[in-house]
């Protein structure tokens, strides 16, 4: 049996390595595994092909849309920004907070945009690699945590390669920046209603969010 190891770029040894091959792969609908400010993610561009490939590797789930990593708030000004959403973005972006907003113009395709509600989750990541990828790609990058079924997200490039091999993934480039500091996933805040609602408390606590929006709704974790 042939061991099909995923293609790998060693960014730990050379953080400034040329990303041309990666950008071209993304433009062709290819996928990458890459470090974020929290855990390693799996994603690609926002084409229907790339979205379907990510969802297939994640077990074909259609109930959990992919998050879109974007360069800035201005890059997604077509979304419906509430006053609370703008305030959270101004204070916490770049950072580990995903804001859920309405997408009335269909800026993003299904799989990123939730079919039933028209909502999308967007985030500006502080990770310098993601900033380079977005600038090279000239558009958003999809993101979902990389993990084996029933297992927590991985936090190292070597673990990312192992999971991709386990999933039978082909033509996925691993951008390996070594082992990340232990972290919870991003905090997810629904900003589509009159008041923002925390859907998932992650790296940024509800307590910190309430310093910005005192009326924010959500239950703090133990």
Q: What is the DSSP string of the chain?
A: ----PPEEEETTT-TT---HHHHHHHHTT-EEEEE-SSSEEEEE-SSHHHHHHHHHHTTS--SSPPEEE-S-SGGGTTSB--HHHHHHHHHH-SSSEEEEEE-TT--S-BTTB-TTT-EEEEE----HHHHHHHHHHTS-EEEEE---TTSPPP-BHHHHHHHHHHHT--SEEEEE--BPPP----EEEE-SSSS-EEEE--SS-HHHHHHH-TT-B-----
pTM of the model: 0.93
| Structural domains in the chain plus CATH codes | 7-212 (3.90.870.10)
Q: What pLDDT score was predicted for residue 3?
A: 54
Percent of the chain residues past pLDDT 70, beyond the cut: 95
Considering only residues 89 and 150, tell me which one the structure prediction assigns the higher pLDDT. 89
Mean pLDDT score, 164-187: 91
User: pLDDT, tens digit, for every residue of 136-154?
Assistant: 999 999 999 999 888 899 9
Does the pLDDT at position 2 exceed 70?
Answer: no
Q: What pLDDT score was predicted for residue 222?
A: 44
């Amino acid at each position: 049996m042939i061991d099909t190891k995923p293609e790998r770029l060693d960014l730990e040894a050379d953080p400034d390595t040329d990303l041309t091959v990666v950008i071209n792969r993304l433009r062709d609908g290819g996928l990458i595994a890459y470090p974020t400010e929290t855990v390693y993610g799996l994603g690609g561009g926002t084409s229907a092909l790339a979205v379907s490939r990510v969802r297939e590797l994640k077990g074909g789930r259609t109930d959990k849309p992919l998050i879109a990593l974007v360069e800035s708030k201005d890059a997604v000004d077509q979304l419906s920004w509430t006053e609370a959403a703008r305030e959270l973005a101004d204070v916490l972006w770049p950072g580990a907070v995903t804001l859920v907003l309405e997408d009335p113009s269909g800026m993003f395709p299904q799989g990123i945009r939730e079919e039933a509600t028209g909502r999308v989750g967007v985030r500006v990541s502080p990770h310098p690699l993601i900033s380079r990828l977005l600038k090279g790609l000239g558009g958003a990058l999809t993101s979902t945590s990389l993990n084996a079924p029933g297992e927590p997200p991985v936090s190292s490039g070597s673990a990312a390669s192992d999971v991709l091999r386990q999933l039978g993934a082909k033509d996925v480039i691993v951008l390996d920046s070594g082992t990340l500091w232990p972290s919870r996933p991003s905090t997810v805040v629904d900003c589509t209603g009159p008041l923002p609602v925390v859907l998932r408390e992650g790296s940024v606590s509800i307590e910190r969010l309430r310093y910005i929006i005192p009326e924010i709704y959500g239950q703090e974790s133990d």
